């Protein structure tokens, strides 16, 4: 199964957005993050907070629950541990 960080990056690239553009859109919608934070999400270094997950999903046109939700994060973390 594709990891959350890969899904995030692929969705962003599919829309032709830069990490800076995504960060600006997040901040405009009340989820204050910078481009470095988006990059860390994409590299799997940090996981976005629940509110940020919802905002990212709205911006990127994906389902927050299945693509970026807590269940997806838990499943991906357990997959990495195997």
Band of pLDDT at residue 69, cut at 50, 70 and 90: low
User: Residue 28: is it exposed, middle or buried by C-beta count within 10 angstroms (0-12/13-18/19+)?
Assistant: exposed
Kindly report, residue by residue over 20-50, the tens digit of the pLDDT. Answer: 999 999 999 999 999 999 999 999 898 889 8
Q: In this predicted structure, what is the pLDDT of residue 39?
A: 96
Find out if CATH 3.20.190.10 is the number for domain 4-76: no
Average pLDDT, the chain: 82
Q: In this predicted structure, what is the pLDDT of residue 70?
A: 53
Band of pLDDT at residue 9, cut at 50, 70 and 90: very high
Question: What angle separates helix 35-42 from helix 4-14, to the nearest 10 degrees?
Answer: 120
Task: Evaluate if pTM is beyond 0.85.
Answer: no
């Amino acid at each position: 199964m594709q990891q959350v960080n890969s899904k995030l990056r692929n969705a962003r690239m599919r829309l032709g957005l830069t990490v800076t553009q995504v960060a600006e859109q997040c901040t405009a919608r009340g989820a204050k993050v910078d481009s470095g934070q988006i990059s860390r999400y994409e590299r799997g270094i940090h996981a976005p907070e629940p509110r940020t997950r919802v905002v990212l999903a709205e911006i990127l046109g994906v389902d927050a629950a299945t693509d970026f939700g807590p269940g997806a994060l838990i499943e991906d973390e357990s997959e990495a541990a195997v």
